[in-house]
Amino acid sequence: MSSVSHPRLVNGKWDATGFFTQPTIENCLEYVFCHLGIVFACLLFMQEKLLKPHGGYQKLKSYQNAVIVYDATVKFSELYISKFSRTCDQMVQAARSGKQNIVEGSMASATSKKTELKLIGVARASLEELLADYTDFLRQNCIRQWQKEDKIAQEVRALVYRANKSYMTYRPYIEDLGPETAANTMICLIHQTNYLLNQQLRQLAEQFLRDGGFTERLFKLRQRTR
């Protein structure tokens, strides 16, 4: 009877060039256990969910609001602030930072909840800076800041509940009704966005305390595979 070639285990690795003609039970068991170990490690990895779901920032209400804040700030600065003023660029950059840090935080969440928390916190701080710029604009130009009970303030705040809202939802208030309405509209919108970010930060902190971060999950996985 002709012999059958089988791969040989050499120094813990299967040698593709070395073959033996008489397989033993020990060789076969080594081969089986080697592959079972790989399968077991993969199953543990999947079960542990080492990389948590991440991304999907487009669905976040905070991000959707931050995009509107950015687009509206770009237009506001074009209409009501001198392009030669440093404030113009600073406001646009603060609005962009609010938006972009939500994106970066969402993508970083796969491997670091701590980084996600930090970046969402930066987004929140950037929008707070922008909020101060709008209140400064009103004060320095002797323009009245709306009160919560003002009818137009309530009207603007209600816009946040519209489906599929975008900058176009707020455009008439930014472009057509003058600087008072534009600046106060932005203040309302930023307050609402900051509220959403506060909620997001609290949820992230609770999740981090409950589940730990990537390092903790990696340590648990290593402990199980030893």
Residue 1 lies in a domain: no
Q: Are residues 69 and 165 in the same domain?
A: yes
CB atoms within 10 A of CB 34: 13
3-state SS, one letter per residue, for 133-173: HHHHHHHHCCCCCCCCCCHHHHHHHHHHHCCCCCHHHHHHH
First CA to last CA distance, the chain: 43
The count of C-alpha atoms lying within 13 angstroms of the C-alpha of 49, restricted to the half-sphere facing its C-beta, is 7
**Chain-centroid distance, C-alpha 126:** 15
The range of the structural domain enclosing residue 152 comes to 57-211
Q: Are residues 18 and 106 in the same domain?
A: no
CB atoms within 10 A of CB 116: 27
With CA atoms as reference, report the closest residue to 77 among 192, 174, 191. Answer: 174
**pLDDT score, position 59:** 87
Q: Are residues 39 and 63 in the same domain?
A: no
Rounded-to-integer distance, Cα 128 and Cα 138, Å: 16
**pLDDT score, position 19:** 45
Q: Please give the average pLDDT of every successive group of 10 residues along the chain, which has 226 residues.
A: 50 49 56 52 47 67 95 96 90 95 82 82 95 96 94 94 93 96 97 94 78 54 54
- Residue showing tokens 């603060």: 94
Look at the chain and report how many structural domains it folds into.
Answer: 2
pTM of the model: 0.69
Residues 111-126 have pLDDT tens digits of 677 888 888 999 999 9
**pLDDT score, position 48:** 47
Q: Are residues 42 and 137 in the same domain?
A: no
Residue 116 lies in a domain: yes
Q: Are residues 83 and 172 in the same domain?
A: yes
6: three-class secondary structure by DSSP: strand
Rounded-to-integer distance, Cα 186 and Cα 190, Å: 6
Q: Are residues 102 and 24 in the same domain?
A: no
Q: Are residues 145 and 165 in the same domain?
A: yes
